[in-house]
Amino acid sequence: MFTPADSAHMARALQLAARGRYTAHPNPMVGCVLVNGGDIVGEGFHERAGGPHAEIVALEAARDRSKGATAYVSLEPCAHHGRTPPCTTALIDAGVGKVVAAMRDPFDEVAGRGLEVLEDAGVETAVGLMQGAAERLNAGFVSRVTRGRPFVRLKIAASIDGATAMAGGESRWITSPEARRDVHTLRAGSGAILTGIGTVLADDPSLTVRDVETQGLQPLRVVLDSRLRMPAAAAMLGLPGDTLVCCTSGQESSALREAGAEVQAFGAHGDVVNVFEVLAALGEREINDVLVEAGPRLAGYLLDKDLIDELVIYQSPHIMGSNTRGMFATPAWEALADRRPLEFTDVRRVGPDTRITATLTG
């Protein structure tokens, strides 16, 4: 059905799409390649919400060579008026002969609608080429529109023997400068960073993106803080970007609000903030990806509630020994059969450290 040339062009479209990694959200990353007579005549990607879609950028680059061209797009073209006119209209008007999409629009209500509009106008369509890669690229966007909550990625920095802090709490720094720089790319690709009040009180982290070009965008910092112990003097409140403090109802918050924080009350889950509600609220705020940077208590809690989609574990070449804290404070599983299975999706070296990416599989 698809030729090697089709795959090469779609791979290029996906590569282009990824250029919007730090800036396109809350929109999906989309790339488009226009091919005419075997030659690439136009390329584009969606850089920023409110800016032109990938298809429009590619059509503008191709000008009259888009007539009879094939468009390779990493996501089904939109058929609705959003902040910009529909891409289907632009593709039809430009005389594009065929559209190959990696995946349908994940919105159930409109999935296939863009392809239908194109077909009705006599444009040939095909869908599903490199669909897995396209879905992984926009896992956050897909999660938000299909599950109503962001994709949750937990970042862990540990020693090779699995320690994330000394018993006394010392954890700065376990991993290398190279690994910490890599974390900033994870932050830059996330709409929000989630942490617990324990981490704020212990480390007073900034949780900002540094040394990555995001056109000034900063992820929303979200602090789970049931009893509203967040200090008005917390470092992050004086830094670029917004901070949302999530407490349970009945907490006094005027000092924090004056310090610039947004404070929102949620239901309680035992003695902690109901994280399901928090994630739903982040979904409503159009947050696609949440990066969790927290201690073993929150990590274990999220694991227990099946709320972790992906783990990114940096392992430093050190043995920290037995007087340390682990990655996850979990319920006391008795048997090996109780352990939680993962799949390693990527294993690589980052400076002197390793970085292992894993998805939860069961």
Contacting positions for a second copy (CB under 8 A): 158-163, 166-168, 170-172, 174, 296, 300, 303, 311, 313, 315, 317-323, 326-336, 338-344, 347-349, 352-354, 356, 358, 361
C-alpha span between 294 and 143 (Å, rounded): 22
Distance CA 240, CA 216 (A): 9
The contacts of residue 156 (CB under 8 Å, 6+ apart) are 164, 299, 311, 312, 313, 314, 327
Q: Which of 198, 236, 197 is nearest to 218 (CA)?
A: 236
CA dist 329 to 80, 302, 303, 358, Å? 46, 10, 9, 19
Rounded distance between C-alpha atoms, residue 359 and residue 347, angstroms: 12
How far is Cα 197 from Cα 202, in angstroms, rounded to an integer? 8
Comparison of 2 and 173: residue with beta carbon closer to a second copy: 173
Using alpha carbons, list the distances in angstroms from residue 221 to 196, 260, 292.
Answer: 11, 12, 10
For residues 252 and 334, which CB has a smaller minimum distance to a second copy in the complex?
334
Return all residues near 106 (Cβ < 8 A) that are at least 6 apart: 138, 141, 142, 145, 146
Amino acid (1-letter code) at residue 105: D
Residue 131 C-beta: closest distance to a second copy, Å: 24
310 by Cβ neighbours in 10 Å (0-12 / 13-18 / 19+) ranks as buried
Task: Give me the least distance between CB of 185 and a second copy, in Å please.
Answer: 20
DSSP state of 174: S
Instruction: Give the nearest distance from C-beta 198 to a second copy in angstroms.
Output: 16
Supply the minimum distance, in Å, between the C-beta of residue 38 and a second copy: 38
Closest distance of CB 239 from a second copy, Å: 25
Residue 198 or 231: which CB sits closer to a second copy? 198
Nearer to a second copy, 205 or 300 (CB): 300
Q: Least distance to a second copy from the beta carbon of 166, Å?
A: 6
> What is the side-by-side strand order in the sheet with 70-73?
39-45, 31-36, 70-73, 98-101, 124-127
Distances (CA, A) of 279 to 1, 155, 245, 325: 40, 17, 13, 26
Helix axes 4-17, 54-62, angle to 10 degrees: 120
| Nearer to a second copy (CB atom), residue 2 or residue 333 | 333
Which residues have a catalytic role annotated? 55
Which residue, 17 or 163, is less far from a second copy as judged by CB? 163
Q: Could you tell me the smallest distance in angstroms from the CB atom of residue 246 to a second copy?
A: 25
Q: Which one, 237 or 313, has the nearer CB to a second copy?
A: 313
Tokens 């430093």: give the residue: 316
- Give CA–CA dist 212/191, Å, rounded: 14
